[in-house]
Amino acid sequence: MKLATVFSGIGAPEWAFKRLGIPYESLLACDNGEAVVSYDLKQEKETISKMASFAEVQKYVTDLYVKKARRNKHNYVQDSYLANYPDFDEHRYFQDAKLLPGSFFKDQVDLFVGGSPCQSFSVVGAQEGFGDDRGNLFFEYLRLVKEIRPKVFIYENVNGLREPGNKDVWSTMTKAFSDSGYAIAMKEPLNAKDYGIPQIRNRIFVIGFLDPKYKEAFKKPAPIALPYKMQDFLISSTEDGGMTFDPKTGALLFSKKPGVVGDSFNLTPLVSKYVLAPGTKNWKTHIETDRPIARTLLSTMGNHHRAGVDNYVRFEYDHTVPIRALTTREVLRLMGFTDDFKIAVPKPQVYKQAGNSMVVDVIMALLKAIIATGVFEPEIKASIVQ
């Protein structure tokens, strides 16, 4: 299997192949972390178009980021990726999808996977859609699909794309997929809780086949009975790493508000600054308040936006029991990354990276469904259909 990913994050598709035991070769990974680089896109593309090899382009863009990054110069996402996929050639790691020439990989890729940044479409954000530069990265993904011509692509984004506020955006995206030259077999949400992970995390997945005959053979993965509770993924509160906020310290204020669905709590400014993810200020709470509201505390994790710093847990529904943030290992587990996933970056970066990832178990279910169509080599299908 020849795999290529963009907006690669910590490699959910790669980890899905690993867990399924399917040999694969990763030809390309691309993620700039959170480095902000300003440049003349047209000029840089013209410069890159004159380069004869991908290696030359990769070095040029890497140098561009090293020289011009204004904040978070260090690419922590790249650190996590390279630490966990040691067979991957780091010279195939690319920093910027906008500058990536897909032509170097034309007709070489079996599966192309990417989920362009979701913040501009998410219901927890301002829903600026294509008015946000991050939203426009969708068109870079589609450009790469057309240039690379993989046998199959998987595109992922938040279910908020189907919300009324994004109606025109979703209409534009679905038309763009239809006009891409690919047979679209699926453009529906899949929920992590239906594929083995005790987390309500609904995401839209679009599946496209270059050869239209495989569209008819594709069957949406059937939901499975949830075998676990969230508590099965947790480290004991007495073990190291279980961060606890004791109400006696004043760090956390327990105060149930009338009209709030579920158990919600006010956080002091100090705690909210530490545990609430960037962008949470736009989250639509049930009530108006001058303080952030912690996510609802449900055994299934509720309708959480991300498995990261804005999620909390306690072991009993009792206001006298301390509440704590999920640990880094717990958030990775709740995204489908087994404990052999190496934590190679600072704790705040792990939370961000896990929260931005796709759920590995959902990708596994999609991979099985795609492979079952026979679109890849017969021995690959035989490894799944046993």
* Residue 139 CA to its chain's centroid (Å): 18
Number of domains in the chain: 1
Is 30 annotated in the active site?
Answer: no
Q: Identify the DSSP state of 321.
A: S
Please give the chain's pLDDT, 386 residues, in tens.
999 999 999 999 999 999 999 999 999 999 988 777 888 999 999 999 999 999 999 999 999 988 877 665 789 999 999 999 999 999 999 999 999 999 999 999 999 999 887 554 444 444 454 444 555 788 999 999 999 999 999 999 988 787 767 778 888 889 999 999 999 999 999 998 899 887 778 899 999 999 999 999 999 999 999 887 766 776 654 343 333 444 343 333 333 333 333 333 444 444 344 333 333 333 333 333 333 333 333 333 333 334 443 455 544 444 444 455 677 888 888 899 999 999 999 888 888 899 889 999 999 999 999 999 999 988 787 777 54
Domain assignment present for 107: yes
Residue 330: the pLDDT is: 80
Residue 348: the pLDDT is: 81
Please give the Cα distance from 159 to 82 (Å, whole number): 30
Residue 227: the pLDDT is: 81
Domain assignment present for 175: yes
Residue 207: the pLDDT is: 97
Residue 43: the pLDDT is: 96
Query: Which candidate in 27, 69, 118, 271 is catalytic?
Result: 118
Domain assignment present for 27: yes
Domain assignment present for 261: no
Boundaries of domain holding 203? 2-221+358-384
Residue pair 203/358 in contact by the 8 Å Cβ criterion: yes
Residue 147: the pLDDT is: 97
Please give the Cα distance from 375 to 124 (Å, whole number): 37
Residue pair 33/72 in contact by the 8 Å Cβ criterion: yes
Please give the Cα distance from 66 to 182 (Å, whole number): 36
Domain assignment present for 78: yes
Could you tell me whether strands 93-94 and 111-114 are parallel, antiparallel, or unpaired per DSSP bridges? unpaired
Domain assignment present for 252: no
User: How many CA atoms, within 13 angstroms, populate the side-chain half-sphere of residue 373?
Assistant: 24
Domain assignment present for 289: no
Is the torsion defined by CA of 364, 349, 303, 141 positive or negative?
negative
Angle, CA of 251, 255 and 259, to the nearest 5°: 145
Domain assignment present for 315: no
Q: What is the CATH number of the domain that holds 166?
A: 3.40.50.150
